[in-house]
Structure 1
């Protein structure tokens, strides 16, 4: 990454840190109900009572609405990522990358920074990736389907440059 892009990313992250202070979205620790309405204009976390149907949201403050997802081993998983913000993907793109257990997230993120041509999914790390969504801009969503046969805890991240610091979590497969 050249110096201009690095400086721009640092400035953007600083701006986002300042503008996101004071408003923190939180989600209930465990929810199995479908929430379709919310109060005060904030998006409510959306989960499903249907087995292995998962929904997660990313916003313009570089946050996922949940940092833990749960699924049943050996059954197809249908995961939807919704970018509920308004900023274009070139500036505030989000994706969700599910990594294999034991993957070094920091090393993955460094390689992802240089993978703009492939929407920040590094070709060299394909063996570490279980599944990933497309890179989304504000108002977009993507649904992926995959199966994990082995029980365990699988980290997930947004691989857009700089986002992994705040946008990460774990998919628990039981």
Structure 2
């Protein structure tokens, strides 16, 4: 009989350790552990109510090429998207020369030169992108041979916005129009 009670006490003490849905905190409190989101989503009523409003997505690719200030350029001088669209832009830097570092910065109409010059003044510590309301979006710096991506929402107001590489002196040859319709 004594052995029976010892077994029961041991079983009761081990039971909390067998439960995979709870965990004991340092203070000894038991709290609910995170569950697998897939299993929750499968049976959750919220999963049945799908989002009926989908934002248009525009996938764009812009390639920077050239191994000197005279050769460098974007492969396109015009990019287009619908107003309010989600833009997923891939910037491919095909250059091989280590001085051919590029980015792409989208600006308000007529502001690409101002933004590029402010980026030059800011320097590498700010990724050559000034903190100003005239900047709509910017990519990370793409080193030679590197591809970077940026996601942003196109302006809601249609118009001819601009894009530019703000690395020092690149703005003179690397800029274009971002048409929002």
Give me the TM-score of the superposition, normalised by structure 2.
0.62
Give me the TM-score of the superposition, normalised by structure 1.
0.64
**Higher relative contact order by CA 8 Å / sep ≥ 6: 1 or 2?**
1
Q: Which residue of 2 aligns with 1:163?
A: 170
Helix, strand or coil at the partner of 1:142: strand
Which consecutive unaligned segments of at least 5 residues does structure 1 have? 1-49
Q: Which residue of 1 aligns with 2:97?
A: 87
- Does structure 2 retain, via aligned residues, the 8 Å contact 1:51–1:71? no
- Does structure 2 retain, via aligned residues, the 8 Å contact 1:87–1:137? no
Cα-to-partner distance string for 1:82-126 (whole Å, 9 max, x where unaligned): 0011122xx2110000001242x3332222112221121123xx2
Query: Partners of 2:179 and 2:164 in 1: how far apart?
Result: 14
Helix, strand or coil at the partner of 1:127: coil
Match of 1:136 among 142, 166, 172: 142
- Does structure 1 retain, via aligned residues, the 8 Å contact 2:101–2:143? yes
Q: Which residue of 1 aligns with 2:58?
A: 52
Query: Partners of 1:159 and 1:172 in 2: how far apart?
Result: 20
RMSD, aligned α-carbons: 1.6
In structure 2, the CA distance between the partners of 1:51 and 1:108, relative to structure 1 (3 Å rule), is closer
In structure 2, the CA distance between the partners of 1:77 and 1:113, relative to structure 1 (3 Å rule), is same
Deviation, 1:143, is: 1.1
Deviation, 1:51, is: 5.6
Match of 1:118 among 108, 114, 126: 126
How many pairs were matched up? 120
Instruction: Say which one has the larger Rg.
Output: 2
Helix, strand or coil at the partner of 1:156: strand
Alignment of 1:1-174 (within 5 A): 52-60=58-66, 61-88=71-98, 91-103=99-111, 105-116=112-123, 117-123=125-131, 126-148=132-154, 149-174=156-181
Helix, strand or coil at the partner of 1:95: coil
Greater share of strand residues, 1 or 2?
Answer: 2
Query: Partners of 2:117 and 2:151 in 1: how far apart?
Result: 26
